[in-house]
A and B are shown apart, each in its own frame.
Chain A
């Protein structure tokens, strides 16, 4: 009876519209595959159809997709996968014995000796054992329990699952999750989807994107006023920033997590991608255990790894795992139950992961060729990391930190004023306020239309110069929310307009926090301001 009114649309309209769909989904943003990539795909199509362009090929440098960029798979891995896919090949003497041995072992662990059978939801047991063995070797003998290993559909799947476990509470009790800025947008997307509170801590660009515990503390203290911070996410080596954390810094982070009672999530998918001299990958698990019982038996942690990066770059197989430490046994049971609903991670990906953690050994026939291929890939990556840094730093207006690890450079770019003005004209209006429902309880609003990597000085968040209108939009939003919100404003030199706009804003709000207002001499500096509604200033629109 009431359904028409409830759906809020006339009878002829759709059941599912953008107005009545899941509001959390609308808030999800994922720039790595956003409008730029969609346009790239379009252009590729246009090129194929013969449309003339000033280039002959679209180069997709947006995503860490090694094979798509021409990197060759590791022969041994693919031999074993072929054998697993079509076991008749086990009779073929073209395949080396060690590949056959691995394939037999994997098939032996599969139901009906087929990778077409479901596996246990936590992953094939013998593969979890191999993962544990790998972690133990990597961490100099620190024990790893296969029961703590969960295989996953790429690392993304596991990260989202752990976040999902952690989210609870409403209003100020809502779970807050600390993520680095710049971050890998999977995190912000998952948090939006789960309706959790994103807590930004900023990496220090001037110190090669290093992590600073004082900044962690600042972010945490600020956040405590609006949510319940429970989780700290670290990406090491960094994505998109390419830094490799020092051992000391990891210790500091662990101490901080313990002190502040935070669940640690260590995204370590680039663990083999370390290039810079003097840099070395230290796993959080290893450091945690080396800090002694006081830490190793208390700090709750999940660390993530994947088959998609490092020297193998096998993204398409969606292989990955996580290791959970010090997790409450009841919660672990819930985790196992939760992953069982999706039945199991793809078995070919599990098989591949097994090979990554259990590659050819020195006495096996494939060892030499495996090492050759592996070393070649990593050496080429190291060279490209250096090359990228060098060349970018020769360009006026581009400055770039060394790519110590991972697969990306995140240079800072100076945009000429005219370009910024043009951008303003073209599109970047402030937030689309129509997506805001008045009943919305979450107070954190990102005004940035630039999406993904919300770095203060790297992406034009939105144009504020001449932007009384923009700030007006923010003010309207403030009204509808009735609460403070952090507002990201890019200062692009035209202070006159900004000052004017700020003055107008002050009628309703006061600036409670100003971050990063240094370096005002430089171009394209953004400042981050937290705005709060003035006390006692009742807004008529809220009544």
Chain B
């Protein structure tokens, strides 16, 4: 029996190698019956594309961090008293306070009886009424249109127009999403087709935010890496794009170019000129542009400014603005609000084929709608209190405070890390992360190799065990062969960040000493 089963397994493994098997004999029929002792769903019989998915931001390091937290709470002795999760851009978890106005409106929307409560400011109430009026049955508990609540989409469109100095925006091109991730995966899904050398290829930066590689693996699309230039503050280089594209054309059909600006995990802010070059490149090479702009308010460095791809595209004239297909993404999770848990987001699509747009709308309808509280929050982000409204001053105060603290922490992180021998770090021009380069001693490389780990994974795991600091190894984002990095967020409160940076410094020195 066992032997028979093993044979069947072998046969099955063999047959899974061939791609078509129309002519197979009927023996398969009996297989399910024979295999009744094994699981229906095993690692060998599950979706192979899912197995290829990797997502380091919530990978083994983070799982170990959660375990350590549990052990600490159970009273286990550790060389630290607290696990600090600097692995993910989760502002509130790091102590950032929500914007009062936003939460007031959300409370009003959740429990409209509060509309008669005089403790709430009038502008919060009027926002809540507007949102509730656009909900079925005046309740956030009803489904919205799959594309998102219409009045919210209108507000998003007006926000984009203001942001882009009057470049028009049509609410029909706005799709609300469940965080930006949802929008990005949906767009990638639309783009994937073909087999073999005809398979869709998608260009992503290295280092990248691993949502992209994960989504491409799952969709079975071809990932095309282009490298950011670490020596020039992680800037993007058109020659490198061209190199990556030309090489990829030999084995796939490159159709999309993804840009993250400001950069995640690398923190660079693209210059206007660079954006123009990218647009020209996309037009010339006929690539669908995907602009991940979720950190658009997170720009700290002097002389840096956020330029939206949409704005630059339209300023380049009709030759580009009427042809280049673009999807840009934004979210309620980052910037000054950091409301990750609500999963709010939107995308704007430009120059998309009408038939494809209809397909997109249909595809989204299967999932019914993005979470309505997230849509409501997105509405507040794009339509915050205005001068003259009672909540304006408090809003601006809170917003400015958050952004200036972030700017300060960006500078602090860069400064402290650059004092450590063996750590080199570019300025954090924007976004929420530092991605410093590490010198890892030869002995440590050896030991990591013996353990079958990436050297930076080995490094980060050791740091977690010794200091309780949870970072993500650079290998999870991709890096030039032979270079090692980690990503850390700049989000911990300033005093905690100082301690954290100091612990990183000490750890690195210890580590270097131990292995040299």
| A-B complex is real | yes
Taking beta carbons and an 8 Å cutoff, which residues of A are in contact with B?
1-4, 6-7, 11-12, 14-18, 20-23, 25-26, 28-30, 32-34, 41, 60, 63, 65-73, 75, 78-79, 81-83, 85-86, 89, 92, 94, 110-112, 114-121, 153-154, 156-157, 160, 164-173, 185-186, 189-190, 193, 224, 228-231, 258-263, 300, 312-318, 326-328, 330-331, 334, 337-338, 340-349, 439, 441
B41 and A166 contact, CB distance less than 8 A: yes
Smallest CB gap from B252: residue in A? A6
Q: Which residues of A contact B28 (CB under 8 A)?
A: 172-173, 224, 228
Alpha-carbon distance A185/B113, docked complex (angstroms) = 37
**B132-167 at interface with A (beta carbon < 8 Å):** 135-137, 139-146
A282 to B325, CA, bound (A): 51
Q: Is A68's CB under 8 angstroms from B143's CB? A: yes
CB distance from A63 to the nearest CB of B (A): 7
Check if B72 is an interface residue, CB within 8 A of chain A: no
With A114-B92, A114-B341 as known contacts, state yes or no: A262 contacts B136, CB within 8 Å: no
Would A116 and B190 count as touching, CB distance under 8 A? no
User: Complex: how many Å from CA A169 to CA B22?
Assistant: 12
Which of the segments B272-280, B360-368, B478-486 contacts the partner chain? B360-368
Report yes or no: B93 in contact with A22, Cβ–Cβ below 8 A.
no
Pairwise interchain contact A262-B363, C-beta atoms closer than 8 A? no
Known: A25-B189, A261-B32, A315-B143. A7 touches B340 (CB 8 A): no
Apart from A116-B91, A338-B50, 17 more pairs, CB < 8 Å: A7-B253, A63-B143, A68-B143, A89-B114, A116-B338, A118-B341, A153-B371, A156-B366, A157-B367, A261-B33, A315-B142, A316-B139, A316-B142, A318-B371, A334-B43, A334-B50, A342-B181
Residues of B347-361 at the interface with A, using a CB-CB cut-off of 8 Å, are 351-353, 355-356, 359
Nearest chain B residue, comparing its CB with the CB of A32: B365
In the complex, A165 Cα to B352 Cα: how many Å?
A: 31
In the bound complex, how far is the Cα of B21 from the Cα of A441, in angstroms? 11
- Complex formed: what's the CA distance from A222 to B91 in Å? 54
Q: Which of B99-107, B229-237, B410-418, B430-438 contacts A (4 or more CB under 8 A)?
A: B99-107
Say whether B41 contacts A300, CB under 8 Å.
yes
Report Cα–Cα, A114/B40, bound state, in Å.
40
Taking a contact as CB atoms under 8 Å apart, the answer to whether A15 and B288 are in contact is yes
- Docked Cα-Cα span, A117 to B358, in Å, equals 34
Ranked 8 nearest A-B pairs via Cβ:
A111-B93, A68-B136, A347-B341, A316-B372, A82-B111, A86-B107, A114-B92, A67-B139
Which residues of B66-121 are within 8 A (CB) of A?
66, 88, 90-98, 103-104, 106-108, 110-111, 113-114, 117, 119
Flag whether B215 is at the interface (Cβ < 8 A).
yes
Structural contact, B341 and A3, CB atoms closer than 8 A: no
Sort chain B's interface into a size bin.
Answer: 35 or more
Chain A residues with Cβ under 8 A from B179's Cβ? Answer: 342-343
Contact present for A18 and B367 (CB under 8 Å):
no
Q: Which of B51-59, B259-267, B447-455, B498-506 contacts A (4 or more CB under 8 A)?
A: B51-59
Q: B19 at interface (Cβ–Cβ under 8 A)?
A: yes
Q: What residues on A are CB-neighbors of B386 within 8 Å?
A: none
Is B339 in the interface zone, CB < 8 Å from A? yes
In the complex with contacts A11-B286, A157-B367, A166-B41, A117-B341 CB distance below 8 A: yes
The reply on B36 being an interface residue by CB < 8 A is yes
Residues of chain B within 8 A (CB-CB) of A345 are 343
A441 and B20 CA atoms in complex are apart in Å by: 9
Chain B residues near A168: list those with CB within 8 A: 45-48
Task: Provide 22 A-B residue pairs closer than 8 Å at the C-beta atoms, listed in order of the A residue.
Answer: A2-B249, A7-B286, A14-B356, A16-B353, A28-B363, A73-B139, A79-B111, A85-B106, A86-B103, A112-B94, A112-B95, A117-B90, A117-B341, A118-B340, A229-B32, A230-B40, A231-B40, A312-B141, A328-B41, A337-B53, A345-B343, A346-B343
CB–CB B288/A16 < 8 A: yes
Contact partner of A14 (CB less than 8 A), chosen from B144, B353, B371, is: B353
Q: Would you call B15 an interface residue if the criterion is a C-beta within 8 Å of the partner chain's C-beta atoms? A: yes
Q: With A85-B110, A118-B340, A164-B50 given, is the CB distance from A317 to B41 under 8 Å?
A: no
The 8 Å CB contact of B352, one of A16, A110, A116, A230, is A16
Q: Is the CB of A263 within 8 A of B98?
A: no
Q: How far is the CA of A34 from the CA of B323 in the complex (A)?
A: 30
Q: Does B426 make an interface contact (CB < 8 A)?
A: no
The minimal Cβ–Cβ distance linking B268 to chain A, given in whole angstroms, is 23
Of B36, B137, B193, B337, which one neighbours A71 at CB under 8 angstroms? Answer: B137
B423 within 8 Å of A by Cβ?
no
- The yes or no answer to B7 lying at the interface (CB within 8 A) is no
Complex CA–CA separation, A52 to B228 (angstroms): 60
Q: Please tell me if B342 contacts chain A, counting CB pairs below 8 Å.
A: yes
The chain A residue sitting closest to B370, CB to CB, is A318
For A164, give the chain B residue with the smallest CB separation.
B47
Contacts of A314 in B (CB 8 A): 141
Say whether B255 faces chain A, with CB atoms less than 8 Å apart: yes
Tell me if A22 and B189 are in contact (CB < 8 A).
yes
Residue of A17, A86, A185, A263 most packed against chain B (CB within 10 A): A86
Is A33's CB under 8 angstroms from B365's CB?
Answer: yes
B40 touches A341 (CB 8 A): no
The complex places the Cα of A29 from the Cα of B359 at a distance, in Å, of 10
Contacts of B192 in A (CB 8 A): 22
Interface status of B468 (Cβ within 8 A of chain A): no
**Contacting residues, chain B, for A29 (C-beta < 8 A):** 362
- Within 161-220 of B, Cβ neighbours of A (below 8 Å) are at 178-179, 181-182, 185, 189-195, 198, 211, 214-215, 218
Q: Which of A172, A193, A327 is most buried by chain B, counting CB atoms within 10 A of its CB?
A: A172
From known contacts A117-B93, A263-B41, A346-B178, infer whether A170 and B20 are also in contact, taking CB-CB under 8 Å: yes
Is B286 a contact partner of A111 (Cβ separation < 8 A)?
no
